[in-house]
Structure 1
Amino acid sequence: MCGITGWVSFDRDLSKEMATLDAMTETMACRGPDDRGTFTDGPAALGHRRLAIIDLPGGRQPMTAETPQGTVALVYSGETYNFTELRADLMARGHRFTTDSDTEVVLRGYLEWGDALAERLNGMYAFAVWDGRHGRLVMIRDRMGIKPFYYYPTPDGVIFGSEPKAILANPLARHRVTLDGLRELFTFVKTPGHAVWDGMREVEPGTVVTVDRGGLRTRAYWQLRTQQHSDDRDTTIGTVRTLLDDIVRRQLVADVPRCTLLSGGLDSSAMTALAARQLAAQGEKVRSFAVDFVGQADRFVPDELRATPDTPFVHDVARLADTEHQDIVLDAHTLADPEIRERVLRARDLPMGFGDMDASLYLLFRSIREHSTVALSGESADEVFGGYLQFFDEEARRADTFPWLVRFRRDFGDDGDVMRPDLAQKLDLSSYVAEGYRTAVADIQRLDGESDFEYRMRRICYLHLTRFVRVLLDRKDRMSMAVGLEVRVPFCDHRLVEYVYNTPWALKSFDGREKSLLREATRDVLPKSVYDRVKSPYPSTQDPKYAVALQDHVKDLLARPGHPVFDLVDRERVRRAADRDTPVITQAARRGLEKTLDLALWLDLYKPEIVTD
């Protein structure tokens, strides 16, 4: 896991632009605290910050290979979980290796197969290859979009980076946000390729982007495709378990301390238990970590989203799996700390956060980093196996929009609720969301003979796997890499995603519950309490002191009437939320306060040029 950046300018010699390259590279220091390196070759300049995970002394980057036709250089972020098999294949083809790193396997794989290497990789990755033999840059991102990757076309080339901040450090990149960028900020829908900053793009998941003197070209090497599923229930459950055992085994490989994130839900519990079983066979124990809030277990109040606190279930799993467990307990003051808000926003580059859930995730990861460098997460199992409430909500199922928006508006309100009415009219968010939905569902293939209900559920699964999951993966990556922690997501293995996506909904929910396949595939390693537990989302603090702190911070902001945030948000609406009695403050009002504070901080730190004409 690392941070990468670079610049290709076919009209200049970038060896004379080292100060700019260094500035771009240093923005990635949090992603790679262990080492740094740069490379220039005429029109190409590459920068790298390293978080050492595999082959600690041998995986330095940028990594180069000299050929008779020119130098090929690689900057790589992520992990390739099948690098051992690929290495053996490449050695059989005559390649010789000088390190034990997966980075060199990717470099040699590119020399052998070109950008067709992408189809052979199993992992999470974002990497760029400067191919001096042909004068071109090749950028490749993993299938599910686990690792972030951005680029900014210029008149004579391109700038790229793991995060927008690396690109924005180059004077050629404008800090500008137009109406379309604001629409992304105020809708809970991540449009593929959209990066909010005007002129900036994402390398889309499963895509190769090639840049040479002839311009920029893209090629999708992977898409989520519809296939017939013929396995019966027992075979399907067995296949899921076989895949999970293999995935966890591969993702436990590291030369640094590992751990698991354990919430007490089905996903993280299954993953932790499988990891514990595999490591126990090697005489090792899993370290597990959970987030909790001061007094929440004792004073927990059930609501529509969360029926039970996490901690009792966490401890059941830790006992059964015999993990070395630690609860990270947070208080309201820390969650609302403006310094923590700033660190979270700098990590994300945009005010697109989840409030206290982002802050708690950042603080959890910061504490874990004191003990481990790699963590396995249960993220994405809900998207893969069908675990969210909206999968079972009839209104969400039938709505001709993104199904999670139906639930979110009901439970949390709308981010646009704090917006100035004149800006809301210009943005016309409902039309923007409707067009995004039409574009998304147009890509879905229907099986011959598939019933209307099964097809509707396929659409819901597809939307979660190609839109919703990318929001959460981006959040997970930014919060973890902000503290130099590599978080792996076993449930995003493309083999598992492809297989489960094509199982009919009747199989995904064969017992009338969420994630039936995952529950049955791992029931032998789960405590009964977790096996029987109803889905509970990532925890959020119920401490009223958190809302009071938000109100106090917003009141301080309201005392600055000239702040540019009030060009975006409705001052009076925000004032009413800040003055409301804490016991009756709604989730929507709380989110409005968090959104206002995030927007104000973003405007202070990034000073974007906002264009609303």
Structure 2
Amino acid sequence: MTVETPAGTVAMVFAGEIYNFTEVRHLLELRGHRFHTDSDTEVLLRGYLEWGDEMVERMNGMFAAAVWDSARRRLVLVRDRLGVKPLYYFPTPDGVVFGSEPKAILANPCVDPAVDADGLRELLEVTQPPGWSLWKGMRSVPPGSLVIADESGIRAARYWQLRASMHGEDQQSTVDTVRTLFTDSVRRQLVSDVPRCVLLSGGLDSSAITGVAAADLRDRGEQLRTFSVELINHQHNFVADRIHAAPDTPYAIEMASHAGTRHEVVHVSAEEMADPAVRRAIVTARDAPTFGQMDASLYLLFKAIRAESTVALSGESADELFGGYRWFHEPGIGGTRSFPWLAASLGTADIRGAALDPGLVRTLDIAGYVSDQYATAVAEVDPLDGESEERRQMRTLCHLALRRFLPMWLERKDRMSMAVGLEVRVPFCDHRLIEYVFNVPWALKSFDNREKSLLRHATAHVLPESIAMREKSGYPWTHDRSYEDKVRAQAQELAHDRSSDVFSIVSRKWLQAATSGPGGLGIAGAASLEWVLDLHHWFDIYHPTITV
């Protein structure tokens, strides 16, 4: 979209949604602006004309935008506060190349598809440095930041960050405020001129969105659509573990009945998830190796939803914000001086690193890298006068979860959904809710000695008791032995492929041994083979140069 001004053309490309664009538009109209469309894009563009770079501080939404100001010969790249929408850039000798995904930038002949040591380290372990990109020389615009490119160079500036402040409200007032902020966020994000739905797993987060959204639409004479995924034979083969307490589908169906939604269970088979064409599609969508079957089932779910809906609401960031993960509640986890998701369980580096050439693993020094990243991440946390050591540790955990763990899940959600043309909105990422809950003391976040106490009590009015009190269960993965068998067969075939570039970093000897042992692979074993298969497709699609 462009606007002609007396000084020259101002042009913008934009991806995302501005949820308060009606209010901002009214304010701009009072200041003399005349609009030619009903779009939020024009509100953002005219906001730049009125307020310059500060226009972003007035916006509530998920967005990535680039503004070219011809009069000032400057490019402004801007990303929403939580980084819901991705935005990448690559400095060149005479400017900058930018795009929503690395593949858009890699399509430019001046960009080499190279990956250095830090890129490989992040493929092995998740620390998510702000601005990180897998590809050498490429950067992502950090969440809540601007990147400005002009004749003086390229520089980044943060316009939003998590700030510490004292919380003075009591328990009931805090619950009431959470309910008000969350309800407003859901209602704003329901606004759409295309079919919309909610991703309903049957857990607390998605059920809370469903309950509020269904009530709001019911008042307008509409029935909410909801979708959930069911892995075929999952309930029959289900085995409870420390991450998965119970199958999701019965709870999703109960919640749909309670809220009066039109619900559909999307059934996904082991054969579909193990299909090499599906693996290749999700590697292409991610521009990188993936989460294996977790990405495959999500991609297939989104593909099925897109046939009937264009916009979906999802529950990302509730666990990070309200303290839903088990590692928030494990004694001593705050004092381990490591990222809690790595300290609490077997790290992905242990699973994936086993497949790599041993010399490469030693060169990468994952432990040293993680230690450095942890120190950098903790240094970003504001001190708060008079704060106890325990309270400081818990606030640090929350900060790490929102700044270093959440970006991984937002990236996954956006890539898998946009690959099929589905727009997924995330009400828990409303910055007003984030800012408020972040500064609630941990004692209030867990006042009933359960995970996500505030959210549970703030949304109890729209939930059946069974779901309000349900123990957290992670995203489902299959226990179907046929899935392991198909993954093993594909990996065995790859182990004898003399043409694959994957063996420039993967140990062929390890792969041959991993695929020839007796018995089942187990979750960790299947995950390591999935990762190698992903790497094989990634090398074949992108032909990366590894520079370590």
TM-score range, shorter chain: over 0.9
Aligned-residue offset at 1:192: 1.1
* Corresponding residue to 1:329 among 267, 287, 295: 267
Deviation at 1:212, TM superposition (A): 0.8
Q: Give the C-alpha shift of residue 572 in structure 1.
A: 2.6
Which of 568, 572, 588 lines up with 2:509 in the alignment?
572
Amino acid at match of 1:253: V
Q: Which of 120, 124, 127 is 1:182 aligned to?
A: 120
Instruction: Identify unmatched segments of 5+ residues in structure 1.
Output: 1-62
CA contact (8 A) 2:124 2:349 kept: no
Matched with 1:276 is: 214
Task: Mark the runs of 5 or more structure 2 residues left unpaired by the alignment.
Answer: none
How far did 1:484 drift?
0.3
8 Å contact kept, 1:408–1:414: no
1:412, distance to aligned residue in structure 2 (A): 9.6
Pick closer, same or farther for the CA change 1:313–1:458 going to 2, 3 Å: same
1:299 positional shift: 3.0
* 2:464 aligned to which of 498, 510, 527: 527
- Provide the C-alpha distance between the structure 2 equivalents of 1:438 and 1:233, rounded to a whole number of angstroms: 33
Q: Which residue of 2 aligns with 1:446?
A: 383
1:70-149 equivalences under 5 Å are: 70-149=8-87
Task: Tell me the SS of whatever aligns to 2:346.
Answer: helix
Moved more, 77-86 or 386-395: 386-395
* Partner-residue secondary structure (3-state), 1:130: strand
Secondary structure of 2:515's match?
Answer: helix
CA shift for structure 1 position 586: 2.6
More displaced 10-residue stretch of structure 1: 446-455 or 165-174 = 446-455
Cα deviation code 1:113-151 (max 9, x no counterpart): 001001101000000000011111011000000000000
Cα distance in 2 between the residues matched to 1:160 and 1:140: 11
- 1:579 counterpart SS class: coil
Q: Structure 2 CA distance, aligned partners of 1:236 and 1:581?
A: 55
| Counterpart residue number, 2:101 | 163
Shift of 1:239: 0.1
Alignment of 1:58-73 (within 5 A): 63-73=1-11
**Who is 1:422 aligned against?**
359
Q: 1:267 aligns with which of 193, 196, 205?
A: 205
The alignment's C-alpha RMSD in Å is 1.2
- Contact kept in structure 1, 2:273 and 2:293, CA below 8 Å: yes
1:375 matched to 2:312? The reply is yes
Aligned amino acid, residue 391 of structure 1: F
Structure 1 residue 567, shift from structure 2 partner: 2.2
Task: Determine if contact 2:500/2:540 at 8 Å carries over to the other structure.
Answer: no
User: Which residue of structure 2 lines up, in the alignment, with residue 609 of structure 1?
Assistant: 545
For 1:434, which of 371, 376, 394 is the aligned residue? 371
Shift of 1:562: 4.7
Does the CA-based 8 Å contact 1:81-1:123 persist in structure 2? yes
Q: Following the alignment from structure 2 to structure 1, what is the Cα–Cα distance between the partners of residues 497 and 115? A: 23
Q: Tell me the equivalent position of 1:31.
A: none
2:419 to 482, 488, 502: 482
How far is the alpha carbon of 1:187 from its aligned partner? 1.2
SS in 2 for 1:246: helix
Shift in Å, 1:532: 1.4
Identical counterparts, % of pairs: 54
* Change beyond 3 A, Cα 1:297–1:586: closer
Is this contact kept in 2: 1:412–1:587, CA < 8 A?
no
Distance in 1 between the 2:222 and 2:195 partners? 11
* Cα drift, residue 582 of structure 1: 4.2
Matched letter for residue 85 of structure 1 = E
Deviation at 1:257, TM superposition (A): 0.2
1:356 aligned residue (276, 280, 293): 293
TM superposition shift of 1:393: 1.6
Which structure carries more relative contact order (alpha carbon 8 Å, separation 6+)?
Answer: 2
On the 8 A contact 1:388/1:514 being kept in 2, the answer is yes
1:251 matched to 2:160? The reply is: no
User: Aligned-pair distance for 1:576?
Assistant: 2.6
Match of 1:211, SS state, is strand
Moved more, 574-583 or 285-294: 574-583
Residues 1:457 and 2:398 are matched in the alignment: no
Q: CA shift at 1:100, angstroms?
A: 0.5
Question: CA separation in 2, counterparts of 1:235 and 1:567?
Answer: 58
1:218 aligns with 2:156: yes
Residues 550 and 594 in structure 1, CA contact (< 8 A), matched pair in contact too: yes
**Larger deviation, residues 589-598 vs 475-484:** 589-598
Q: Given that residues 149 and 202 in structure 1 are in contact (C-alpha distance below 8 angstroms), is that contact kept between their aligned partners in structure 2?
A: yes
User: Given the alignment, which residue of 467, 472, 491 partners 2:409?
Assistant: 472
Q: 1:347 aligns with which of 271, 285, 290?
A: 285
2-structure distance, mates of 1:201, 1:98: 35
Given the superposition, is the C-alpha separation of residues 131 and 543 from structure 1 closer, same or farther in structure 2, using an over 3 Å criterion? same
- 1:477-522 deviations in whole A, cap 9, x for unaligned? 0000000000000000000001000000000000110000000000
Deviation per residue, 1:431-483 (Å, 9 max, x gap): 01110000000011122111111111111100000010000000000000000
Alpha-carbon offset, residue 302 of structure 1: 0.9
The answer to whether the Cα contact below 8 Å between 1:142 and 1:206 also exists between their aligned partners in 2 is yes
Q: Report if aligned partners of 1:160, 1:167 keep a CA contact under 8 Å in 2.
A: yes
- Amino acid corresponding to residue 546 of structure 2 in structure 1: I
Whichever residue aligns with residue 534 of structure 2, its letter is D
What is the aligned counterpart of 2:225 among 287, 290, 314? Answer: 287
Mapping for residues 528-607 of structure 1, pairs under 5 Å: 528-583=465-520, 585-607=521-543
Q: Select which of 140, 146, 150 maps to 1:208.
A: 146
1:578-604 Cα shifts (integer Å, max 9, x gaps): 123343x23221111011001111011
Aligned length: 548
